[in-house]
Structure 1
Amino acid sequence: MAVTTTALIQGPATLYSGAVGATEPTDTQVNTTPAASSWTDLGGTQDGVKLSVDQTYSELEVDQITLRVGSRLTKQDFTIETSLAEATLENLSLTLNGGTSASGAGWKSFDPNVTSSATQPTYFAIIMDGYAPSQFRRRIIGRRMLNVDSVELAYTKDKQTLIPAKFAGHYVSSSITPFHIVDQTS
């Protein structure tokens, strides 16, 4: 088996957040930083950033054949998961899916949402910029996301405080896919 060493990938990814429907960088801008007017850099991460796509298929079977004769996709989930290393109130607000922020001279504060379960959450968009084969860039855009993981702030003597995040993608529309991946090729 031949190995294409230039297809091997290693290196960090950078995360950005924006509003649902924020102007996305075009595919030709895959090697540029997203516009600061629409996208906020979430800062450092620890233990990497991971895209996961979970697909559930239902088996089709018939009495006359012992093998699976076909499958149909019945569920699909995707997540972008990391630990945010910058334990800011802004990152805490993002991982708690919104809330109320305030600031003044020498202080800022955050209060989480405590609305009823019937209230629609505040979705957001995520851009994950990492590497593609041949040391080019890869961009993954999650268009309608929520954090679905527990949020904790652990303060310990010998460990860094991190904010764990598991951003789950959600359906956008019949004409807009929930996520988009583009690789730079030259």
Structure 2
Amino acid sequence: MPVTATNLALGPGDLYTGTFGATEPTDADINTAPGVGWTTCGGTQDGVNLIVDQKYTALEVDQVVDVVGRRLTSREIQVETNLAELTLDNLKTTLNGGTVTNDAVNSTTAYELDYATSATQPGYYALLIDAFGPNSKRRRIVVRKTLSTDKVSFAYSKDKQSVYTVQFSAHYVSSSISPLRVVDDTSA
């Protein structure tokens, strides 16, 4: 089987957050930072991983021993990473909101969790991953509606760097808008 070496990709991805519904950069802007409405999460550790877990249910009939076909019955899209920059804004993102306040008098910044009832509608985020695709050109991935859905942890250890571990899960947007868009730069 022949291999097309230019289709191989290697390199880090940059992660940005925006509010759900943030204006997405145009495809023509694939080689520039996303711009207004998008905030970088800074450095990451161990990569930015996009996972699409699809579940197909088999269609079966008594008259045939083989599975006749399958139908997509569930899909989970997730983005996992370790945020290496332990800012309070990144903590706010990993915990789906809260309040960051600056106190200029005391030269401090503080974070507090949201503490509303569990029935409160969460503040969804959009995620944007800028990475490398084929031909060492840019690939942009937009995950349009996400929440941090797994436990968030960060440890302080003598011999290990502290990071925020986070797992974002994508959600349905609408019948006319896909939850995920991937764009590759194919310019000459």
The TM-score with structure 1 as length reference comes to 0.97
2-structure distance, mates of 1:122, 1:139: 23
Q: Give the secondary structure class of the aligned counterpart of 1:9.
A: coil
d(CA) in 1 for partners of 2:99, 2:28: 36
Tell me the secondary structure at the aligned position of residue 154 of structure 2.
Answer: coil
Structure 1 runs not aligned, ≥5 long:
none
CA distance, structure 1, for counterparts of residue 151 and residue 9 of structure 2: 30
Structure with the larger strand share:
1
41-50 or 99-108, which deviates more: 99-108
Note the C-alpha offset of 1:89.
0.5
- TM-superposed deviation, 1:114: 2.1
1:24 and 1:181 map into 2 onto residues whose CA distance is 12
Within-5 A mapping of 1:12-91:
12-35=12-35, 37-91=36-90
Aligned equivalent of 1:93: 92
Task: Note the residue ranges of structure 2 that are not aligned, 5 or more in a row.
Answer: none
- The separation in 2 between residues aligned to 1:154 and 1:24, in whole angstroms, is 34
Show structure 1 runs of 4+ deviating over 3 A: none
Given residue 155 of structure 2, which amino acid in structure 1 is its aligned partner? A
Letter aligned with residue 68 of structure 1: V
Deviations 1:73-124 (A, max 9, x none): 1111101110000011000000000001211111110101122221111101
The amino acid that maps onto 1:55 is Q
Which amino acid is 1:40 matched to? T
Q: Which secondary structure state, in structure 1, belongs to the residue aligned with residue 90 of structure 2?
A: helix
Q: % of aligned pairs identical? A: 52
RMSD after superposition:
0.8
TM-score computed with the length of structure 2 as normaliser: 0.96
Q: CA deviation at 1:179?
A: 1.1
Structure 2 Cα separation of the partners of residues 73 and 117 of structure 1 = 31
How many residue pairs were aligned? 185
In the alignment, the residues of structure 2 paired with residue 136 and residue 92 of structure 1 have an alpha-carbon distance, to the nearest angstrom, of 31
